[in-house]
């Protein structure tokens, strides 16, 4: 379960950074992304690049998500049952 949470939190952090980068100059940066996507689409190595980037995103999201605090963990420690 923790790995799925790590993927979720890591991907959210990566997406937040990309959104902040685009917000710095939206028209120019979105145009550059579209231009790069159009260039890469015509490149013969496209079928290798996309899965490689997806695996890189996944690995980065897992590593980043495991370093971030677990959002599903409770703030208070669970009460320990008393032994009689």
> Can you give the pTM of this predicted structure?
0.66
pLDDT of residue 72: 74
Of 72, 51, 52, whose CA–CA distance to 7 is shortest?
72
Domain count of the chain?
1
In a domain, 34, yes or no: yes
pLDDT of residue 68: 83
Whether residue 84 has pLDDT greater than 60: no
Q: What is the mean pLDDT of residues 14-31?
A: 88
In a domain, 44, yes or no: yes
pLDDT band at 18 (very low <50, low <70, confident <90, very high): confident
The structure tokens listed for 24 are 């710095």
pLDDT, averaged across the chain: 83
Host domain of residue 61:
2-67
In a domain, 11, yes or no: yes
Between 2 and 73, where is the model more confident? 2
């Amino acid at each position: 379960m923790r790995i799925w949470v790590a993927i979720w939190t890591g991907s959210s952090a990566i997406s937040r950074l990309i959104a902040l980068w685009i917000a710095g100059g939206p028209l120019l940066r979105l145009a550059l992304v579209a231009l790069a996507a159009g260039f890469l689409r015509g490149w013969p190595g496209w079928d290798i690049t996309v899965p490689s980037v997806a695996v890189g995103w996944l690995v980065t999201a897992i590593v980043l998500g495991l370093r971030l605090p677990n959002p599903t963990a409770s703030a208070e420690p669970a009460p320990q049952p008393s032994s009689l």
